[in-house]
């Protein structure tokens, strides 16, 4: 019997977002023979790596009518991953010869944010992706129509006319570092100081001689607190937990920084009471509490909304879950509950709509660019019929088993897409699906070495390291892509 080959298919695909994930998705779609249109509401490609000194009109990010700024970078930000593990797998983030003499490159292993943007611009130019991108074009509606196609409505930022087009498939690449997530603080409505989210932090100058409280113990909280310590009178970190290299109380390297447990309450007289009973009279509270995922358009379920409002995470409650319903209408098939976008098979495909709707980049606590690249290969291959997806039933069963395992281990919904514990297992799985070259061992070792280094020397990990042998291995591997 002759072997029956699956029919090869080419499709017209809408990619929403021209950050790192949208750019690589467009490249993979095109490589697989599809046509793609990339919608980008900003005026240039690069997403989160497009720096602006502008901040939002509501620096806490609560007011839905605030002037909106996508950028979450601060002026001095350097990458928290070494360039070797950060770049796309087949387009290494190496220091390239610059043909534009006005742009100088940052040659450091952990470069500043401008170099990441230049790298993405080089990538888009090299693969001809910039010609697929429609800048200043916001997608305002995506929904499936009876023919099985997707209706995409978009509008130019300045013009108000809405354009309606039809696509075979939609890939959502909108990022998830722009809707601040906030900790609810008892008494905050009467507290007279200034509040903001780290999304709107740019430079330390506004904090000169002030007493500043930062909530969180993430990369942003650590970087920003150290930067502010140079100008502020006092910096107080409110952390839920500390690692074995951190101590509560006064911090050894600084004479004006303290670490406390979480805030218990704040008061009308400007004081902040921590859970250990210590009290500080403060000028600013900055929430370095991370971001919400994007929100899906669906009917408001009051009961669910109330239930989510009541979920308690440790010492404080996140209650700022106002569903935004920006553009995606799946008729309730895809929902967002406490940052779980689901149901999604392997964080990418809603089983009922696969492969026609997909998401790149929802998983976090990873080296994102290589993951975006592999997820995009998988999507492009599945649309092409080169890669077979399991049946809808099997995908759904897998999702259910995954959710049950999260529940059994006591993980709240909001950790659904945190894949830190199995990042490389997931990457290897994607590699196998795509038939792509194996993920090099040095990447895994370098990621682990950096993670350790960040904990043991948070002040200097970007400039001192012990994994030079891995850098050498990486550079050897990169030769095939760079000569
Ligand atoms: P984004 O870069 O956010 O791009 C999404 C794009 O979608 C945006 O351009 C946006 O304008 C567009 N968009 C959204 N909605 C619409 C719409 N309706 N219509 C049209 N366009 C739309 N990663 C690392 O690898 N290393 C690091 O050191 C690192 N540091 C970071 C530091 C900070 C402060 C932050 C916030 C993130 C950092 N990251 C880092 C993670 C970073 O987010 C990812 O590396 C990656 O750039 C995200 O790409 P993305 O394409 O998924 O999202």
Q: pLDDT digit string (tens) for 65-75?
A: 888 898 999 99
> Measured in angstroms, how far is the CA atom of residue 263 from the centroid of ligand 1?
30
Range 266-271 average pLDDT: 98
Q: What is the pLDDT of residue 242?
A: 77
Contact 90, 438 (CB under 8 A): no
Contact 153, 162 (CB under 8 A): yes
CA–centroid distance for 253 within its chain: 31
The preferred substitution site among 177, 227, 292, 295 for testing ligand 1, maximizing ligand atoms within 8 Å of CB, is: 177
The preferred substitution site among 113, 175, 360, 372 for testing ligand 1, maximizing ligand atoms within 8 Å of CB, is: 175
Distances (CA, A) of 17 to 72, 133, 465, 481: 16, 9, 35, 26
Distances (CA, A) of 331 to 64, 143, 145, 334, 414: 24, 8, 11, 8, 22
- Whose tokens are 């978009």? That residue is 154
Q: What is the pLDDT of residue 97?
A: 67
Which residues face 263 on adjacent strands? 274
Q: Whose CA is nearest to atom 6 of ligand 1?
A: 17
Q: Whose CA is nearest to atom 53 of ligand 1?
A: 175
CB-CB neighbours of 33 under 10 Å: 14
> Measured in angstroms, how far is the CA atom of residue 338 from the centroid of ligand 1?
20
> Measured in angstroms, how far is the CA atom of residue 269 from the centroid of ligand 1?
39
Going by C-alpha positions, the residue among 52, 47, 92 that lies closest to residue 38 is: 47
**Alpha carbon distance 161, 151 (integer Å):** 16
Strands (E), 320-443: 328-329, 335-337, 340-342, 357-359
Three-state SS at 10: coil
Buried residues in 315-350 as b, exposed as e (16+ CB within 10 A): ebebebbebeeebbbbeebbbbbbbbbbbbbbbbbb
Three-state SS at 89: coil
Q: How many CA atoms lie within 13 A of 302 on its CB side?
A: 0
Is the per-residue pLDDT at 325 higher than 50? no
Is the per-residue pLDDT at 106 higher than 60? yes
Q: Whose CA is nearest to atom 15 of ligand 1?
A: 174
pLDDT band at 459 (very low <50, low <70, confident <90, very high): confident
**Alpha carbon distance 224, 215 (integer Å):** 11
Q: Whose CA is nearest to atom 41 of ligand 1?
A: 368
> Measured in angstroms, how far is the CA atom of residue 40 from the centroid of ligand 1?
12
> Measured in angstroms, how far is the CA atom of residue 49 from the centroid of ligand 1?
7
Three-state SS at 256: coil
> Measured in angstroms, how far is the CA atom of residue 364 from the centroid of ligand 1?
12
Is the per-residue pLDDT at 164 higher than 60? yes
> Measured in angstroms, how far is the CA atom of residue 174 from the centroid of ligand 1?
7
Atom of ligand 1 nearest to the CA of 110: 28
Q: What is the pLDDT of residue 179?
A: 76
> Measured in angstroms, how far is the CA atom of residue 14 from the centroid of ligand 1?
18
Which residues form ligand 1's pocket by a CB distance below 6 Å?
Answer: 16-22, 39-42, 47-49, 70, 72-73, 79-81, 86, 138-139, 173-175, 177, 220, 327, 361, 367-369
Is the per-residue pLDDT at 291 higher than 90? no
Q: What percent of the chain has pLDDT over 70?
A: 90
Lowest mean pLDDT across 131-135, 246-250, 353-357: 246-250
Q: Whose CA is nearest to atom 7 of ligand 1?
A: 17
pLDDT band at 298 (very low <50, low <70, confident <90, very high): very low
**Alpha carbon distance 266, 431 (integer Å):** 50
> Measured in angstroms, how far is the CA atom of residue 158 from the centroid of ligand 1?
23
Q: How many CA atoms lie within 13 A of 258 on its CB side?
A: 16
> Measured in angstroms, how far is the CA atom of residue 176 from the centroid of ligand 1?
7
Q: Whose CA is nearest to atom 9 of ligand 1?
A: 47
Tell me the ipTM for this assembly.
0.99
**Tokens encoding 162:** 């809405």
Contact 307, 298 (CB under 8 A): no
Three-state SS at 348: coil
CB-CB neighbours of 467 under 10 Å: 19
Is the per-residue pLDDT at 392 higher than 50? yes
**Which residues, including other chains, have CB under 8 Å from residue 481's CB and lie 6 or more apart?**
90, 91, 92
Cβ-in-10-Å burial (0-12, 13-18, 19+) of 470 comes to: buried
Atom of ligand 1 nearest to the CA of 17: 7
**Alpha carbon distance 238, 215 (integer Å):** 5
**Alpha carbon distance 15, 47 (integer Å):** 13
Q: Whose CA is nearest to atom 22 of ligand 1?
A: 17
Comparing 2 with 459, which gets the higher pLDDT? Answer: 459
Comparing 8 with 300, which gets the higher pLDDT? Answer: 8
> Measured in angstroms, how far is the CA atom of residue 250 from the centroid of ligand 1?
35
**Hey, CA dihedral for 475, 478, 479, 483, is it positive or negative?**
negative
pTM of this structure: 0.91
Strands (E), 244-283: 249-250, 257-260, 263-266, 271-274, 279-281
Atom of ligand 1 nearest to the CA of 22: 51
**Alpha carbon distance 321, 269 (integer Å):** 29
> Measured in angstroms, how far is the CA atom of residue 479 from the centroid of ligand 1?
28
CB-CB neighbours of 352 under 10 Å: 15
Going by C-alpha positions, the residue among 13, 64, 85 that lies closest to residue 357 is: 13
Which residues face 82 on adjacent strands? none
Q: Whose CA is nearest to atom 27 of ligand 1?
A: 79
Q: What is the pLDDT of residue 236?
A: 97
């Amino acid at each position: 019997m002759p072997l029956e080959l699956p029919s090869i298919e080419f499709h017209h695909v809408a990619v929403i977002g021209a950050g790192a994930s949208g750019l690589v998705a467009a490249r993979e779609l095109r490589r697989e023979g599809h046509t793609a249109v990339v919608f980008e509401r900003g005026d240039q490609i690069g997403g989160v790596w497009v720096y602006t000194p502008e901040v939002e009109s509501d620096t806490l990010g609560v007011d839905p009518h605030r002037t909106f700024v996508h950028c979450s970078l601060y002026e001095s930000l350097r990458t928290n991953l070494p360039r070797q593990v950060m770049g796309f797998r087949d387009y290494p983030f190496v220091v390239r010869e610059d043909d534009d003499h006005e742009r100088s490159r940052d040659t450091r292993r952990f470069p500043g944010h401008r170099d990441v943007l230049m790298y993405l611009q080089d990538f888009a130019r090299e693969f001809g992706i910039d010609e697929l991108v429609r800048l200043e074009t916001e997608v305002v509606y995506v929904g499936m129509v009876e023919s099985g196609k997707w209706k995409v409505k978009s509008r130019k930022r300045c013009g108000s006319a809405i354009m309606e087009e039809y696509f075979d498939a939609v890939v959502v690449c909108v990022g998830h570092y722009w809707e601040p997530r906030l900790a609810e603080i008892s008494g905050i409505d009467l507290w007279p100081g200034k509040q903001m989210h780290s999304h709107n932090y740019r430079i330390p100058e506004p904090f000169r001689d002030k007493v500043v409280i930062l909530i969180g113990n993430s990369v942003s909280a650590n970087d920003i607190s150290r930067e502010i310590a140079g100008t502020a009178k006092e910096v107080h970190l409110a952390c839920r937990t500390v690692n074995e290299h951190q101590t509560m109380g006064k911090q050894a390297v600084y004479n004006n920084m303290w670490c406390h447990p979480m805030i218990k309450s704040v008061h009308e007289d400007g004081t902040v009471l921590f859970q250990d009973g210590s009290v500080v009279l403060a000028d600013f509270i900055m929430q370095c509490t991370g971001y919400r995922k994007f929100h899906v358009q669906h009917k408001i379920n009051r009961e669910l909304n109330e239930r989510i409002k009541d979920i308690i995470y440790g010492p404080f409650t996140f209650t700022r879950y106002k569903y935004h319903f920006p553009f995606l209408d799946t008729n309730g098939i895809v929902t967002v509950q406490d940052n779980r976008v689901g149901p999604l098979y392997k964080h990418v495909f809603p089983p009922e709509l696969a492969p026609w709707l997909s998401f790149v980049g929802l998983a976090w606590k990873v080296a994102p660019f290589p993951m975006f690249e592999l997820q995009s290969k998988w999507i492009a291959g599945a649309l092409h019929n080169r890669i077979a997806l399991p049946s809808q039933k099997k995908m759904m069963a897998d999702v259910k088993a995954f959710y049950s395992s999260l529940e059994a281990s006591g993980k709240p919904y909001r950790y659904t897409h945190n894949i830190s514990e199995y990042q490389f297992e997931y990457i290897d799985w994607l590699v196998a699906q795509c038939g792509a070259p194996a993920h090099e061992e040095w990447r895994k070792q370098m990621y682990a070495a950096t993670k350790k280094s960040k904990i043991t020397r948070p002040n200097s990990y970007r400039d001192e390291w012990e994994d030079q042998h891995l850098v050498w291995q990486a550079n050897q591997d990169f030769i095939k892509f760079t000569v």
